[in-house]
Amino acid sequence: MGLFSFLTQEIAIDLGTANTIIIHNDKIVVDEPSIVAIDKNTNKLIAIGEKARQMHGKTHENIKTIRPLRDGVIADFDAAEKMVRGMIKMINPKGRLFTPSLRIVICIPSGSTEVEIRAVRDSSEHAGARDVYMIYEPMAAALGIGIDVEAPEGSMIVDIGGGTTEIAVIALGGIVCNKSIRIAGDDFTNDIQEYMRHQHNVRIGERTAEDIKINVGSALPDLDDPPADYMVRGPHQMTALPIEIPVSYQEIAHCLDRSITKIEAAVLDTLEQTPPELYADIFNKGIYLAGGGALLRGLDKRLSEKHNIPVQVAEDPLHAVARGTGIALKNVGKFQFLMR
């Protein structure tokens, strides 16, 4: 560490559709939902992260909650910049005499267009970053899982986030073939909202649908240790009177089936593009699952039965991408695959 190292602050950001995680000095210092609450009249930031999530769907006309990212990319530039700036402030809340200049490594979906990459870079620079490096999410996930990405053998990562599912085959420090589809955790949540409306005639909000997904979400209709039914309360569509309905994991497995089938098809698609030598490596080592979607009960079993390849869930899949981004930050000089 040089004499002026305190003038530069190095942080790694996993800017996700659902959650944003910031790593500083190898520690997760911020882990908050990607959501901001803004005063409509003054356009000032009211709350950020978990506090804003608690307001989501419960605001009056002067407050609006915004999720700045949709499908893995920045949808609201101004809100994204406010969010990144606010979360960086969380690291050093005390008044400093000066703000250190920032060096940021930030991860982006592997299917990002030039315009989307530019938006992430501009947001980071507006939030005060001097150096911005980018890394593709599946590459970050592979680093976070602990795979030797520079080895001459293939590894397959399926990273199911909030907005996108990233599927990539990695070898020799690069992405050999990849597919990024915009079906992920948010779509599961929407499927559950739709299902409750059609099947049970009950209207539920995004947060309740999310709670259902966490408590009884499943990819298979028969699990070895099934979760207990989850009670859902809400207004009946027709009468607007309150009703209470138990929801079982079998129902959720049924209603998520279509979205999961699309993810299976994308995995198969990527396997078809994989060179045969790397395919053999993947067959031996298995497929790695990361991202919040990897926590869906029975998903690993369903994918391995579908493709006849063993599937393993990374430990702490929610933070795999963030950890990998942190590793890339420490080795900015060594890794060639960081885009500047």
Tokens matching residue 185: 């955790």
Kindly tell me if the per-residue pLDDT of 3 is higher than 50: no
Both 199 and 236 in one domain: the answer is yes
pLDDT in tens, 277-313: 999 999 999 999 999 999 999 999 999 999 999 999 9
Which pLDDT score, from 0 to 100, does residue 57 have? Answer: 87
Of 208, 226, 255, the residue at which a domain comes to its end is 255
Based on its alpha-carbon atoms, the radius of gyration of the chain, rounded to whole angstroms, reads: 21
Closest CA to 165 of 135, 188, 143: 188
Both 266 and 251 in one domain: the answer is no
Is the pLDDT higher at 337 or at 121?
Answer: 121
**Domain CATH number, residue 213:** 3.90.640.10
Both 307 and 197 in one domain: the answer is no
**Domain CATH number, residue 300:** 3.30.420.40
Compute CA distances 62 → 48, 74, 153, 156, whole Å: 16, 24, 55, 47
Both 250 and 160 in one domain: the answer is no
Calpha distance 154→274 (Å, rounded): 9
Could you tell me if residue 88 is inside a domain?
A: no
Kindly tell me if the per-residue pLDDT of 120 is higher than 50: yes
Which pLDDT score, from 0 to 100, does residue 308 have? Answer: 95
Q: Residues 337, 168: contact at Cβ < 8 Å?
A: no
pLDDT grade for 340, boundaries at 50, 70 and 90: low
Kindly tell me if the per-residue pLDDT of 265 is higher than 70: yes
Of 212, 232, 255, the residue at which a domain comes to its end is 255
Both 179 and 155 in one domain: the answer is yes
pLDDT in tens, 72-81: 889 998 999 9
pLDDT in tens, 151-181: 999 999 999 999 999 999 999 989 999 999 9
Could you tell me if residue 129 is inside a domain?
A: no
Number of domains the chain is built from: 2
Kindly tell me if the per-residue pLDDT of 1 is higher than 60: no
Lowest mean pLDDT among 2-11, 124-133, 279-288, 326-335: 2-11
Could you tell me if residue 92 is inside a domain?
A: no
This prediction's pTM: 0.91
Both 287 and 264 in one domain: the answer is yes
**Type of residue found at 314:** A
Could you tell me if residue 99 is inside a domain?
A: no
Of 206, 227, 255, the residue at which a domain comes to its end is 255
State the burial class of residue 223 (Cβ atoms within 10 Å of its Cβ: 0-12, 13-18, 19+).
Answer: middle
Could you tell me if residue 93 is inside a domain?
A: no
Residue by residue, DSSP assigns 306-319 as HHSS-EEEPSSGGG
Could you tell me if residue 163 is inside a domain?
A: yes
Could you tell me if residue 31 is inside a domain?
A: no
Residue by residue, DSSP assigns 154-223 as -EEEEEE-SS-EEEEEEETTEEEEEEEES-SHHHHHHHHHHHHHHHH-B---HHHHHHHHHHH-BSSSS-
Calpha distance 164→38 (Å, rounded): 26
Q: Residues 269, 145: contact at Cβ < 8 Å?
A: no
The three-state (H, E, C) secondary structure of 45-108, written as one string: EEEECHHHHHHCCCCCCCEEEECCEECCEECCHHHHHHHHHHHHHHHCCCCCCCCCEEEEEEEE
Kindly tell me if the per-residue pLDDT of 70 is higher than 80: yes
pLDDT in tens, 181-222: 999 999 999 999 999 999 999 999 999 999 999 999 999 999
Tokens matching residue 101: 């200049």
Both 193 and 250 in one domain: the answer is yes
Q: Residues 260, 293: contact at Cβ < 8 Å?
A: no
Both 200 and 247 in one domain: the answer is yes
Both 200 and 238 in one domain: the answer is yes
Both 232 and 275 in one domain: the answer is no
> How many CB atoms neighbour CB 101 within 10 A?
13
Kindly tell me if the per-residue pLDDT of 21 is higher than 60: yes
Could you tell me if residue 231 is inside a domain?
A: yes
pLDDT in tens, 35-61: 999 999 999 999 999 999 999 988 999
Both 204 and 305 in one domain: the answer is no
Which pLDDT score, from 0 to 100, does residue 94 have? Answer: 63
Both 234 and 290 in one domain: the answer is no
Domain containing 198 equals 185-255
Calpha distance 166→159 (Å, rounded): 5
